[in-house]
Amino acid sequence: MIDTLLFDLDGTLLPFDVEPFMEGYFARLAPLLTDFYQPADVARCLLVALQQVVENEHPSQTNMDKFRKALFDKQPALEEQVWPIFEHFYTSSFEELQHLTKPTAIAREICRTAADKGYRLVLATNPVFPETATRARMRWAGIDEVPFSLVTTMENSHFCKPNPKYFLEVLQQIDATPETCLMVGNDVQEDGAAGYVGLQTYLVTDHLIDREVGTFHFDHRGTLEELQRFVEQLPVV
């Protein structure tokens, strides 16, 4: 019996289109780093570093450790100067990206309904952002006061989607078994990978991401409004 719901954030509980959001992200971050990087190089450097985080399966290093190592391992002297700029960015300019998202009250209602029925909730957002940025996006989505048992961030996660080890780590952290959990997300590959470790899956189709790589089975699929009705029909735990 399902008693735990794992929700993706970006494109799911916080609807938005990835490309405009990331363009805005780099457009605001790059000018802050001109003393250290050419503006045109910022996006490439960060994306390469994030890809290294995704590929690094070292179980004792958090994603934050892996990201900083990927960015500064070849130029360790830069870290002391550059990292505070990143930290300041996430508490200031990052907020300017809110207008690129499309919050909906449905997201909060889905979470509220599930919590009222006794379901344990996890915000299983891909942990490639620090907690500050994740909490900001939760606030934009109107779900910052939802009683999530776990919110995955760079600081508390050691793997990323679509690595099955990410989902196994979440299960371990909340002391749950796969057959009691349902993963809800909009990314065919990243969220569909939860099925590999035995979770049920629900594909949210409003802002669907599909790289058309691999075959993924989803137990359920529908729009965010259809997800709301699905949750309303779930039995009380």
Q: Is residue 165 within 8 Å of 146, Cβ to Cβ?
A: no
Burial 4-29 (b: 16+ CB within 10 A, else e): bbbbbbbbbbbbbeeeebeebbeebb
Give tens-digit pLDDT for 128-181. 999 999 999 999 999 999 999 999 999 999 999 999 999 999 999 999 999 999
Q: Where are the domains of the chain?
A: 4-17+102-232, 19-98
Q: Quick one: average pLDDT of 83-107?
A: 96
The CA distance from 138 to 116, in Å, is: 19
The fold for domain 4-17+102-232 equals Rossmann fold (3.40.50)
The CA distance from 142 to 188, in Å, is: 24
pTM strictly above 0.85: yes
Predicted local confidence at residue 215, as pLDDT: 85
- Name the residue type at position 117: K
Q: Which of 142, 225, 210, 180 is nearest to 6 (CA)?
A: 180
Residue 219's pLDDT band, with cuts at 50, 70 and 90, is very high
What phi, psi does 220 have (nearest 5°)? -145, 155
Predicted local confidence at residue 124, as pLDDT: 98
Predicted local confidence at residue 75, as pLDDT: 87
CA distances from 216 to 11, 82, 163, 169 (A): 18, 40, 14, 21
Backbone CA torsion sign across 88, 139, 126, 149: positive
And the tokens for 103? Answer: 């919050």
Q: Quick one: average pLDDT of 53-59?
A: 95
Give tens-digit pLDDT for 69-89. 999 988 888 999 999 999 999
Q: Which residue reads 């998202």 in tokens? A: 101
Percent of the chain's residues with pLDDT above 90: 95
The CA distance from 230 to 210, in Å, is: 23
